[in-house]
Structure 1
Amino acid sequence: MKKTLLQYSVIFIIFVIGIIYRVHSIMGTADYFTSDTGVLCLMAKHIRLGLEFPVFWYGHSYLGALPAYFLSVFFWIFGTGLFAFKIYALFFSVLSFILIVLMARSLFDKRVALLCLAFLAIPPHSLIVTIAYGGYQAYILLGIVFLWILGNYVRTEKRLFFFLTAVVAGFGWYSHPMFIYFILLFIVTYSIRYVISKESTFMIFHIEKIFAWCIFFLVGAIPYFIGLSRNFHYYNPLGNSDSNIFALLKSFVWAVLFKIPHILSFDRGYPAFSVINSIFYIFLFILVISEIVQFLKSKAFAPKHLFSLFFITTIITFSYEQNYEDLGTSRHLMHLIILLPILSSLLLQKFVGNSKVLMAGIILVLSLIQLCLTLSITKTEPNGYDLIDTLRKKDLTKGFADFWVAYKLTFLADESVILSPLWGADRYEPYTYSIINSAQGCYIFDLSESIQSARCEEFERTLSAVKTLSFTHNEYESYQIFSGLHITDGNANYPVKYFNPVYEDEYWEPLNPEGKPNKNKNYSFTIALPKGVYNFEFRVKYNGEYQNDVYCEDGAITVFNQINNSLIGRVQCKMDSFADSPVQIYRFKAYCNPLKYVCVLVSFFDANLELESMLIY
């Protein structure tokens, strides 16, 4: 009786520690709250208010909107806001915690379940917050259910479990196509069981089962096909694969030794801990290989082999990710939060044996290291509230900003301030239309980020190049705010509905195959104006000496409609154009309306060519 009470007391204490850890990681850390989280929260708010009932995430064709529907329930209970979102994230984090332990108890034994409980109490901080703030709750929960059912099928071979995996796999595919990791695991598992099965000679039997499995998969994936029926396009989540064997092996080794340990490190400023992580995963990889070898010898497939096999298929599949060295691809390894506790428990059992004291000591040391590193990461609220107050005071409640800022601030402001991305994916076009059709929009840049700083410089340089364009420039802390953009034509002023320099290089390549033009002498921008016909005038000056035997194209001015890519006008600035006068004037007429963007490209490849003035009237 006393021994049982002690065991339950230990379990309760570990569970409470796990809850406290998650409260700290999710409720006390907000630097992971980005525009992706903002989009999720805005979707949930619109669902709660009955404004939208999306099948996929806004601006996506592959991310199921199930997390937004879950979150809308928490908004209904606790009110719309950041606190309700954190409660939602905490709830599903704890639910996953409990389900993984129960799965370990069901597929293995109490000892493995207890070890899983210990490892899950303080899991990698990066996995916890990525799942919480990235909206991957449904993906993880469905992954747990899928592995639980597949493990029972491996153990019992019941048809019920076989077809349940199909339904869950289909719905998991709808939640996120990254569920391909789980589907590939099923394919490999079934193939192995087919090879070692006594019924392997009866091919028709297996074909019928696979066909039936596919039918049940399609049933589970019905929401996905409903989304496709709304003219969404399929997106490949795994990127382009590289058929080069050497590149594949290189990425495989990188994933095992560096990528996974680096992603799961808790503070990337601690190189010593990264070494500890790497050593741990090398041993874990050795364990997995040994389990696979043991299976090949015995040909007895068990749930522990299933999880070892999943670890291998995950790394192999992940190695096909084109940018495998990019930390942004870490979401492809989120389901390791399911694998790690079980594999780690098997690792301890194999290398430590029955020494409970040594095993408890190892768990305690690892937990303390993880806890100390995690507690150093604390930020109570996401930044942006002061900027929101400033925008409200200046009556700049609609505008454009960096993608990672736009939707975050829109949600934190409860849509009293509406921002859309000036560059990057436009996840919710109604916001963009609302800004363009408003009286005046603003443009926000954060100089604390190098990319935004460079784009701000280009934005201001291009604005200043249009002599008839006026604007107001304000500064707030590290933010640069441009507003009041308008075209002056005599006594008339026309508000600029949209203005954005073309930051990418895609337009330059066809104009100059030999190299990019000089940035400081070339301009490219997109502009939207009130309905009407406007003149675009360019005065080009040639500062060098005219050479009548040279007829190469030294520059070009192109104006076109960006919506349908129809050409409005294009002129080549050839050398012979300046034979009679060093200054040439080029004019184009363009019909504009707020939703018909006109794109201007001015490209000079001769150092002697200079844009003397650019007018819009």
Structure 2
Amino acid sequence: MAYARTLPHRLDPDEAMTGLMARHILQGDFPVFFHGQAYMGSGEAYPAAALFFLFGASAKVLLVAPFILSLLFVVLVIRLAEALYGKTAAAWTGAYAAVPPAFLAAYGLSPRLGYIETLVLGSLLLLLAMKIREDARRGVRATGRYAAFGVVAGIAIWTNFLAAPFLAVSAVVVAASRFRSLLGAHGLILAGGVLVGGLPFWISNLQNDFWSFAVVGFGEGSLKRLAALRFAERIPYLLGFRHIATETWLGWPGTALAASALAVLVAWMAGAVGGVTQGGATRTNDRRSTALIAFLVAVSLGAYVLNRFGYTGSPRYYFGFYVVVVLVFGAGAAALWNRSRAAGALIGGAVLFGNLFGLVLGYRALSDRESWEAKYPSVKPLIEFLEGVGVTHAYANHHISVRTTFASREKIIAAEPIYEPYAKYRRLVDLAENAAFVFQGRSDHLGTPEVFEENIKLMGGDYRKDVRGPYTIFHGFRRLDRGGTLRPAAWGASSSNPKSDPRLAFDRNTSSRWTSGRPRREGDWFEIDLGTRLPVQRIVLLPGGNRWDAPTGLRVMVSADGRKWATIAEAVSLLPGLHWYGNHPRRDLSGRVEVFAGGALARFVRLAHLGADPKWDWSIGEVFIERSGPPDRSPGRREAVWLGALAEEAGEKGNLPESLRWVEKAIAADSEFEPGHRHGALLEGVK
């Protein structure tokens, strides 16, 4: 399974992101969490960075850290099983952990941060808690164990909230062992360990209003019931009865595995009464151990059913259960072995054989280039094409962008158009002289290539379009000429909604707006009277109140006399927020719509809505119009551009109050500076 994951084309986006984080560490950027999140620690990326430094960055080297952690998990659960149930149970537990269900092997070996670490840290917490309990019975102070427990607990909190059940159960064991000592020095030592172990976590949360805990929440009653059902549905998959890729039943091996696993479970439950280990003196310990495991199961079930992620049914959220699974198997198989070695070997061996069968199928699934290519096509032809045309920056969906950046060793920086997890990449692509747009079918934020092309034509610009394998690539953008500023002092306006003042659409205040007064539909229109005939070059609309208030489609018509109309631009499927940024397009959350009019001579400009949406009204916060001619180079405009750049820079650094101050100064310098109004609306929450 480990070998299958190292094949060159096998990295999925999350794994590639781990690799990029390791590269960033070597470049002096030290992440605390997985890029784009605030609740999954970056710990695994640091040993990966060290390995990259020694052996170079590659998919194979990236796998080494989770592979070592997987081996460590096997060792720890052997020790844990021995402490709970004895050496026979430890041997069976080790065998099951070494030949596990396919999902445990595949996901545990995946370098995606936090999952195999959860099992390692959870096992270590339980083991330390039991050692502390043992020390308490023997009357040994063992201060070092409290410190170690605290440090591991802190690392677990930082690493993944999936460790919460282990933290809760082990904390109860420690508290029950020596509650009074926790009120004194031992408690301070343990708390200090939690602080030290999770220091990056605590510092980051203090600096960011405890943002990690924003994901902590409880599902509603219906979601809780759904979560319980989803967990029940997932048990056969988690235990390896179903194929890891297709999720179909494994046929007779799956049935045999399920029956054998059930027998082991019954044997484990019986062991709580009859004893797993041999000898009456050990039965009390067996019952306590079984009670501990049952308590862990109950806490884990409660955590996953109650939290707001449990209803998704994603098997990764149940990953912590594998500690319970391996221990229950080890104890149950040991109980069978102690009663009848033949029965133990037959039933325990059947479970291991079923796991091995699932692992073989999993290996084949991971090694199948055709099925992998269908989901994550190789980015090699894309990289070769971009390098061939001299493009070093691109916008693309996450599953393309991360793999492209890692595979090219950051020679090509690709970023999500809007929700880029690593903000630095997005900024680098924004500022690039020549950025491409890459599609593989439909893009989450840019629609289909056909929709994107329709919007580029609406905005006015030249470009090249090429297809390489499954990828459609737009590049070589050239923005058509900008025009001079038209000021709205002499404008008049009318609209399809007589109850909304159309002049609010050009009062240069984005907090006011014209609105259609009803959900967007065909027939809504907004008309501007420029006061005199002028060559119109470009029209820009900013939505008012909500970015979703942008039109779904738009037809732009012009007239010299208000009676005879000519259509100069039209797009049925708009991509609000797509606009020119330097020499290439960019999309943001502003809801802005940009139309190239091409110097059409007009006094009247009519904007007619196309399409319908039952949820949102159509509104215009501000409309800007440029006339053909040289761009505005007045002192006020030059000052506004400079101040606008400062505002954007402050915003990129997260200093929103400072960014807003620069925006206000830019608009004061030139009220017709559209980027200032757009940026200000975003900062004020018009999103």
Indicate whether the TM-score tops 0.5: yes
TM-score by length of 2: 0.64
Q: CA deviation at 1:316?
A: 1.3
Alignment partner of 2:467 out of 463, 466, 475: 475
Match of 1:167 in 2: 151
Match of 2:636 in 1: none
1:82 equivalent to 2:59? Answer yes
Q: Is the 8 A contact 2:245 2:362 kept in 1?
A: no
Letter in 2 for 1:311: V
Where in structure 1 are there 5+ consecutive unaligned residues?
1-21, 493-500, 545-552, 569-587, 600-617
Alignment partner of 1:460 out of 445, 453, 458: 453
1:326 equivalent to 2:312? Answer yes
1:315 equivalent to 2:293? Answer no
Q: CA deviation at 1:389?
A: 1.4
Where in structure 2 are there 5+ consecutive unaligned residues?
276-282, 370-375, 485-540, 555-570, 584-592, 598-604, 611-615, 624-643, 664-670, 683-687
Q: CA deviation at 1:345?
A: 1.7
Letter in 2 for 1:377: A
Aligned length: 518
Where in structure 2 are the equivalents of 1:165-564 lying within 5 Å? 165-189=149-173, 193=176, 207-208=183-184, 213-228=190-205, 230-231=207-208, 233-236=210-213, 239-242=216-219, 244=221, 247-255=223-231, 257-264=232-239, 265-273=242-250, 276=255, 302-327=288-313, 329-350=314-335, 354-362=339-347, 363-364=349-350, 365-379=353-367, 383-424=378-419, 426-447=420-441, 454-466=447-459, 468-489=460-481, 507-508=547-548, 520=572, 523-530=575-582, 539-541=605-607, 555-558=618-621
SS at match of 2:474: strand
Q: Deviations over 1:183-203 (max 9, x none)?
A: 222344456x37xxxx9xxx8
Q: Structure 1 residues 464, 557: closer, same or farther in 2, change over 3 A?
A: farther
SS at match of 1:133: coil
Q: Is the 8 A contact 2:224 2:311 kept in 1?
A: no
Q: Structure 1 residues 555, 43: closer, same or farther in 2, change over 3 A?
A: closer
Letter in 2 for 1:261: P
Letter in 2 for 1:409: T
Q: Deviations over 1:105-151 (max 9, x none)?
A: 34432211211122122212222332323123544432232122123
Q: Structure 1 residues 282, 597: closer, same or farther in 2, change over 3 A?
A: farther
Letter in 2 for 1:339: V
Q: Deviations over 1:557-616 (max 9, x none)?
A: 3459996798x9xxxxxxxxxxxxxxxxxxx943449x96998xxxxxxxxxxxxxxxxx
Aligned-residue CA RMSD (Å): 4.4
Q: Is the 8 A contact 2:433 2:582 kept in 1?
A: no
Letter in 1 for 2:453: E
Q: CA deviation at 1:446?
A: 0.8
Q: CA deviation at 1:311?
A: 2.2
Between the aligned partners of 1:506 and 1:487, the Cα distance in structure 2 is 28
Between the aligned partners of 2:206 and 2:70, the Cα distance in structure 1 is 33
Q: Is the 8 A contact 2:5 2:366 kept in 1?
A: no
Q: Structure 1 residues 289, 248: closer, same or farther in 2, change over 3 A?
A: farther
Between the aligned partners of 2:581 and 2:63, the Cα distance in structure 1 is 42
Q: Structure 1 residues 212, 125: closer, same or farther in 2, change over 3 A?
A: same
1:40 equivalent to 2:24? Answer no
Q: Is the 8 A contact 2:153 2:194 kept in 1?
A: yes
Letter in 2 for 1:408: R
Q: 343-352 or 555-564: which moved more?
A: 555-564
Between the aligned partners of 2:457 and 2:594, the Cα distance in structure 1 is 18
Q: Is the 8 A contact 2:40 2:161 kept in 1?
A: yes
Alignment partner of 2:75 out of 98, 109, 133: 98
SS at match of 1:527: strand
1:69 equivalent to 2:46? Answer yes
Between the aligned partners of 2:620 and 2:410, the Cα distance in structure 1 is 40
Between the aligned partners of 1:237 and 1:555, the Cα distance in structure 2 is 33
SS at match of 2:74: helix
Q: Structure 1 residues 169, 464: closer, same or farther in 2, change over 3 A?
A: same
Q: CA deviation at 1:206?
A: 5.9
Between the aligned partners of 2:96 and 2:196, the Cα distance in structure 1 is 36
Between the aligned partners of 1:42 and 1:72, the Cα distance in structure 2 is 9
Q: Which has the higher contact order (CA 8 A, sep 6+)?
A: 1
TM-score by length of 1: 0.71
Q: Deviations over 1:542-561 (max 9, x none)?
A: 599xxxxxxxx974334599
Q: Deviations over 1:142-186 (max 9, x none)?
A: 223212212323444355344532221112112223322222223
Letter in 1 for 2:13: S
Letter in 1 for 2:438: I
Alignment partner of 1:149 out of 128, 134, 143: 128
Q: Structure 1 residues 370, 73: closer, same or farther in 2, change over 3 A?
A: same
Q: Is the 8 A contact 1:47 1:53 kept in 2?
A: yes
SS at match of 1:225: helix
Q: Is the 8 A contact 1:25 1:125 kept in 2?
A: no
Q: Structure 1 residues 461, 445: closer, same or farther in 2, change over 3 A?
A: same
Between the aligned partners of 1:417 and 1:74, the Cα distance in structure 2 is 23
Q: 388-397 or 137-146: which moved more?
A: 137-146
SS at match of 1:89: helix
Match of 2:513 in 1: none
Between the aligned partners of 1:52 and 1:450, the Cα distance in structure 2 is 30
Q: CA deviation at 1:103?
A: 3.4
Q: Structure 1 residues 85, 298: closer, same or farther in 2, change over 3 A?
A: closer
Q: CA deviation at 1:431?
A: 1.8
Q: Structure 1 residues 205, 73: closer, same or farther in 2, change over 3 A?
A: closer
Match of 1:573 in 2: none
Q: Structure 1 residues 220, 451: closer, same or farther in 2, change over 3 A?
A: closer
Q: Is the 8 A contact 1:151 1:303 kept in 2?
A: no
Q: 177-186 or 204-213: which moved more?
A: 204-213
Between the aligned partners of 2:434 and 2:334, the Cα distance in structure 1 is 66
